[in-house]
Amino acid sequence: MINRVVLVGRLTKDPDLRYTPSGAAVARFTLAVNRTFSNAQGEKETDFINCTVWRKQAENTANFLKKGSLAGVEGRIQTGSYEGQDGKRVYTTEVVADSVQFLEPKNSGANADRSQGQQPSYQQNNQSPSQQNYTRVDQDPFSSGSGPIEVSDDDLPF
């Protein structure tokens, strides 16, 4: 039997990172995934898929993804149930992720806005487009010297 799922979508809110009593990290988030077809009114519909990721991947997900981030998730479907406060059985379905891929650069809030058909809001961080940290195409960012290349932890994807 095969139980594999691959999703690409945007986080609906920041991941919720917690730790089990034994110290294992677990992050939960919801991924908004657009359907590939339109409904009878010609509108695209979206599914909201609950995802759970464990251990180091959970910590990385919580540190590098936020609401609106584009992510790829690979994992398996898991179902469960519990008794609700009203005494009725509540059934759950989620994706337990084996892998979470970060599909945008860390600081790409403007890119996330643009891909959803909105104009980027530069006023949020009080910078105009010309003040943002972009490298010109005709400049070699590695030609500043013959010494070692300085890379900050913020530039690493893990």
Predicted confidence (pLDDT) per residue in 127-156, tens digit: 444 444 444 445 555 555 555 556 666 666
Predicted confidence (pLDDT) per residue in 53-108, tens digit: 999 999 999 999 999 999 999 999 999 999 999 999 999 999 999 999 999 886 66
Instruction: From 96, 67, 66, 85, select the one nearest 4 (Cα to Cα).
Output: 96
Predicted TM-score (pTM) above 0.95:
no
**Sequence ranges of the domains in the chain:** 1-36+43-102, 106-133
Distance of CA 90 to the CA centre of its chain: 27
pLDDT at 148: 59
> Which of the following CATH numbers is that of domain 1-36+43-102: 1.10.1740.10, 1.10.220.150, 2.40.50.140, 1.20.1260.10?
2.40.50.140
Separation of alpha carbons 18 and 25, rounded Å? 6
Separation of alpha carbons 121 and 136, rounded Å? 21
- Other Cβ atoms less than 10 A from the Cβ of 9: the count is 21
